[in-house]
Amino acid sequence: MEQHFVTFYSPGTFFAEATQKPIEAWDADLAVAMSSDIKERYGARPYGFRFSTRARTADELDSKEVAKSPMYYLGGKVETIEEVEARNAPDEQILRDNMRCNGYDRIWTSTQGWKWTQPLRYDDVVISA
Mean pLDDT of 99-125: 95
DSSP type of residue 47: S
Percent of the chain with pLDDT over 90: 88
CA distance 42 to 69: 28
pTM of the full structure: 0.91
**pLDDT(113) > 90:** no
Task: Tell me the pLDDT band of 42, cut-offs 50, 70 and 90.
Answer: confident
pLDDT value, residue 129: 65
Terminal alpha carbon distance of the chain = 35
CA 1, chain centre distance (Å): 27
Cα-Cα-Cα-Cα dihedral of 26, 9, 38, 42, to 10°? 180
Mean pLDDT of 15-19: 95
Mean pLDDT of 47-65: 94
Percent of the chain with pLDDT over 70: 99
pLDDT value, residue 114: 87
| Vertex 116 angle, CA 26 and 29, to 5° | 20
Q: How many residues does the chain have?
A: 129
pLDDT, one tens digit per residue, over 93-111 is: 999 999 999 999 999 999 9
Domain extent listing, the chain: 2-73, 75-122
**pLDDT(74) > 90:** yes
Helices within the chain (DSSP H only): 28-35, 81-87, 93-102
CB atoms within 10 A of CB 98: 14
